[in-house]
Amino acid sequence: MAIKFIHSRLSWILQGQSSTAAAIQTLLSRVLILAVNLATGIITARSLGAAGRGEQAAMILWSMFLANTVTLGLPSAIIYNFKARPYQKSELFAAALLLGTGLGFVASAIGILCIPFWLSQYSPNVVRAAQWFMLNAPIALVQLLVLAALEALGDFTASNQLRLMIPLITLMALIGLSAAGAITPFTSSLAYTLNGIPIFVWTLARLWRLLHPQWLGIGTAARQLVHYGLRSYGVDLLGALALQVDQVLVVSFLDPSAMGTYVVALSLARMLNVFQMATAAVLFPRAAACPIHEVIALTGQAARLTTALTSAMGLLIIALGPFLLQLLYGAEFVQATTVLYVLVIEAVISGATLVLAQSFMALGNPGIVTLLQAAGLALSLPLMIWLIPIFGLVGAGLALLASTSVRLLFTLSCYPLILKAPLPSLLITKQDLVFLKHKLLESRG
């Protein structure tokens, strides 16, 4: 009986198409992706050392970063237009493929031309490899569009499986390279770059059969995508910059060893954000179009519970920092301890800010979120340019912490100024604990 119940629950979670099942699938997939990425990070750090890990990061950083910065908002445009014009999906998908491929080659050209200037302190071999890896930019960008199309069609199961399978293939490739004693910065970069191509081709073929791209009328479809995409592009661009601009500046200012050390500390600290990111993904659609008092109540409760959880986990990471770094990555990475402390605090604050910002999204004020992201980026860029040359890795962490703290203050101030509502409390209450206990008992039942 118990086995049958567990099987039915797992089937509902893994194959269900309801919004609740989709939310749980998303959370589970992100937790699994986090675990797989942790494993790949351990293998590369232990095999390559700090300098080798830094060279590997420099090789593969640019194709993903530039692909994410030239999207013109196409992923959001696909989701919107598929819903608004379901009769035009074939033309829209065809237009998205052409636009995405073209923009991907634009990203490739920018990277190939500029990488020698961005990586001037790296060896010619690393620079040349990074230029070659820029050829992956069109695939990376079209892959974003494929994921958006799957989610627009309501196939979150396939989307989450695709997101998970890509790092799993990387992990298997790295294990094979390690067993063969063939891990180098270049071969491990190949494992990270070529990982998603087989699944990407399979998924693209599946969508091709399902949507039957139509090239007649593609001009109108392209204009519709670009018209919507450009209006949402600011959020995509600022999100991409906020996520990776610190690595871009660290790799440009510091040597490979410092870059490798920073990547390890950053990946360990950002483990804390998985719960807040999953919560934000569920909170927005749940709170959208609700009365303002209900939106703020939901957001405040979500912010308190997730911040309490991540704070507890953050304190644990800080307490065990040197031990965790040596256990997971090796003694060479214990030097990342100080910047890890700073990045853990930043991760807790940035996660709380992300959840609190969902009130503005749910109440029809997405422009406020864009302005908040822009303000944080406008502060972090000059701070990094100023602090990294002086304090190195810690300077990068302090710049992120300062800009994130300012974003939190701006977000809180917008509640009375924009929403004309009181600030949601960030201190966990007894009612929050009762609610959490109820949900846990409900999931068990």
- pLDDT tens digits for range 159-186: 777 778 888 889 999 999 988 888 999 9
What is the rounded (10 degree) CA torsion for 162, 163, 165, 170?
140
Instruction: Write down which residue in 193, 220, 246 finishes a domain.
Output: 246
Domains contained in the chain, number: 2
Q: Can you give the pLDDT at residue 185? A: 92
Candidate from 66-70, 88-92, 154-158, 226-230 with smallest mean pLDDT: 154-158
The string of pLDDT tens digits covering residues 216-233 is 778 888 888 888 778 777
In a domain, 5, yes or no: no
Q: Is 55 within the bounds of a domain?
A: yes
Regarding whether 233 and 262 lie in a shared domain, the answer is no
* CA separation for the pair 341, 326 (Å, rounded): 15
Mean pLDDT of 414-438: 77
10 found inside a domain: no
pLDDT above 70: percentage of residues in the chain: 87
C-alpha span between 335 and 383 (Å, rounded): 22
Are 188 and 59 contained in the same domain? yes
95 and 77 together in one domain = yes
Q: Which residue has the higher pLDDT, 140 or 86?
A: 140
Average pLDDT over residues 200-213: 79
pLDDT band at 113 (very low <50, low <70, confident <90, very high): very high
Does residue 96 carry a pLDDT above 60?
yes
Please check the confidence at residue 253 and state whether its pLDDT lies above 70.
Answer: yes
pLDDT greater than 70 at residue 10: no
Please, which pLDDT band fits residue 156 given cuts at 50, 70 and 90? Answer: low
Q: Quick one: CA dihedral 94, 99, 105, 107, positive or negative?
A: negative
Q: Are residues 216 and 260 in the same domain?
A: no
Domain end residue (candidates: 221, 246, 271): 246
Domain that holds residue 45: 16-246
More confidently predicted of 5 and 246: 246
Q: For position 13, what pLDDT does the model report?
A: 43
Does the predicted TM-score (pTM) go above 0.95?
no
Q: What pLDDT does residue 286 have?
A: 64
Instruction: Output the CA torsion 258→263→264→265 (10° steps).
Output: 90
3 pLDDT tier (thresholds 50, 70, 90): very low
Lowest mean pLDDT among 44-58, 290-304, 404-418: 290-304
More confident residue, 297 or 445: 297
Taking CA atoms, 233 is separated from 67, 99, 230, 369, in Å, by 13, 14, 5, 13
- Count the residues in the chain: 445
In terms of domains, do 175 and 277 share one?
no
For residue 133, name the pLDDT band (cuts at 50, 70, 90).
very high
pLDDT value of residue 401: 92
Same domain, 288 and 342: yes
Choosing from 207, 223, 246, the residue where a domain stops is 246
pLDDT exceeds 60 at position 445: no
Instruction: Say if residue 295 is in the same domain as residue 174.
Output: no
Q: What is the dihedral of CA 103, 368, 284, 231, to 10 degrees?
A: -30
Confidence of residue 349 (pLDDT cuts 50, 70, 90): very high
pLDDT at residue 21 tops 60: no
Q: What is the pLDDT of residue 81?
A: 79
Name the pLDDT band for 114 (thresholds 50, 70, 90). very high
- Residue 138 in this model has a pLDDT that exceeds 50: yes
Is the pLDDT reported for residue 108 higher than 90? yes
Whether 234 and 382 map to the same domain: the answer is no
User: How much is the mean pLDDT over the chain?
Assistant: 81
pLDDT on residue 72: 85
Other beta carbons less than 10 A from residue 83's beta carbon: 11
Q: What is the CA radius of gyration of the chain?
A: 22
In this structure, are 195 and 63 located in the same domain?
A: yes
